[in-house]
């Protein structure tokens, strides 16, 4: 399709969807950059990124520098004589010296409508904040964090049953389509960008496992968004007695708030557990006991009748467990 020399840089599944779309369109990068292999799983064995696996399966050269600031790493990139560098959820900062190497510059596909949610976790932050819509932007990269002019966008509504996982998959598809559609224009130098309004920017910080602890004094709407945003990672959690339960799905209940304390189980329904919150009532529909599988609540109620009895109370995190006092850990997504 093109004789242009394209280099692709990306790491997780979100990026691999974009590389797959390029390959499907007949565009084979001359090289792929991805984060170094990391220990993963119970055995902590080194695991290749999704992008590296796909690149190797198609016989594409793979580079995994720890940083692009070093001269030798920049020389290696320069040796590929790239016309265009496409970056999708790569995970390394690109210094100006690298941005200047491709003759047609560097572009990035970002999982938000810029300048809303610049940074590492835009998908989950949009959902957590209660945004009505999100999207993907194709942008020309500059020295700042997601600050370059936007070349093209695609939008999608955030639905009441969306999770971090469902939005991730939908945006990955939208972004891949956006990239392939506009790539011919980029290679002909026909894409003009729209400058972002920095005054409207917000920062999507990395996800932190400590944020997954449910504070039942918050509103039911906020807790519902927390449960959906952190599905499938890090998964919302709550304490019941000595057990830490993972809460996978919930929905808002139209039941009026009771006088019971926040976190109290106030009713069993056929497929939900009603819990009173600081404001409103939440219906938990899927949960997971330690060491067990995630299950619909209807399959748990009989086996755990005593622990899930009406009147029992989920604990809220203490101040020492607050998200702001916990160190950052690993992160899924962008």
Which H or E run contains 167? helix 164-187
And the tokens for 242? 């000595």
Residue-level pLDDT at 219: 96
Exposure string of 163-201, with b = 16+ CB inside 10 Å and e = fewer, is: bbbbbbebbbbbbbebbbebbeebbeeebeeeebeeeeb
Determine contact, residues 217/322, Cβ cutoff 8 Å.
no
* Beta strands 31-33 and 62-63, pairing class: parallel
Q: Which whole number is the average pLDDT over 155-168?
A: 97
- Integer Cα distance of 175 and 136 in angstroms: 6
Q: Residues 80-115: pLDDT tens digits?
A: 999 999 999 999 989 999 999 999 999 999 999 999
Residue-level pLDDT at 143: 83
- The predicted model scores a pTM of 0.90
Q: Residues 214-230: pLDDT tens digits?
A: 999 999 999 999 999 99
* Beta strands 84-88 and 106-110, pairing class: parallel
And the tokens for 157? 């509504």
- Which residues share a beta bridge with 7? 31, 85
Report phi then psi at 88, rounded to 5. Answer: -140, 110
Residue-level pLDDT at 189: 86
Mean pLDDT over the full length of the chain: 92
At 282, the pLDDT band (50, 70, 90 cuts) reads very high
And the tokens for 192? 């003009």
């Amino acid at each position: 399709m093109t004789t242009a020399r394209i280099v692709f840089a990306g790491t997780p599944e979100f990026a691999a969807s974009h590389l797959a779309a390029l390959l499907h369109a007949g565009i084979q990068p001359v090289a792929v950059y991805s984060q170094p292999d990391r220990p993963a799983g119970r055995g902590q064995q080194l695991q290749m990124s999704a992008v590296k696996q796909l690149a190797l399966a198609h016989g594409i050269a793979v580079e995994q520098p720890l940083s692009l600031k070093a001269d030798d790493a920049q020389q290696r990139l320069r040796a590929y004589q790239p016309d265009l560098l496409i970056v999708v959820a790569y995970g390394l900062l690109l210094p100006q010296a690298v941005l200047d190497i491709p003759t047609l510059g560097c572009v990035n596909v970002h999982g938000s409508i810029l300048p809303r949610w610049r940074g590492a976790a835009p998908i989950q932050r949009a959902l957590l904040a209660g945004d009505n819509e999100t999207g993907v932007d194709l942008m020309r990269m500059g020295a700042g964090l997601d600050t370059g002019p936007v070349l093209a966008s695609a939008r999608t509504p955030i639905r009441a049953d969306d999770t971090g996982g469902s939005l991730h998959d939908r945006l990955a598809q939208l972004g891949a389509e956006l990239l392939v559609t506009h790539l011919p224009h980029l290679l002909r130098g026909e894409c003009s960008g729209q400058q972002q309004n920095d005054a409207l920017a917000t920062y999507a910080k990395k996800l932190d496992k400590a944020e997954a602890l449910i504070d039942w004094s918050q509103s039911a709407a906020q807790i519902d968004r927390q449960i959906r945003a952190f599905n499938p990672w890090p998964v919302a959690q709550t304490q019941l007695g000595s057990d830490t339960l993972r809460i996978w799905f919930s929905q808002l209940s139209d039941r009026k708030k009771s006088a019971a304390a926040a976190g109290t189980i106030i009713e069993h329904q056929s497929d939900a557990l009603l819990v009173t919150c600081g404001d409103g009532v939440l219906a938990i529909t899927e949960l997971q006991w330690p060491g067990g599988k995630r299950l619909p609540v209807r399959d748990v109620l009989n086996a755990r009748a005593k622990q899930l009895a009406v009147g029992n109370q989920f604990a809220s995190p203490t101040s020492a467990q607050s998200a702001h006092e916990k160190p950052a850990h690993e992160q899924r997504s962008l």
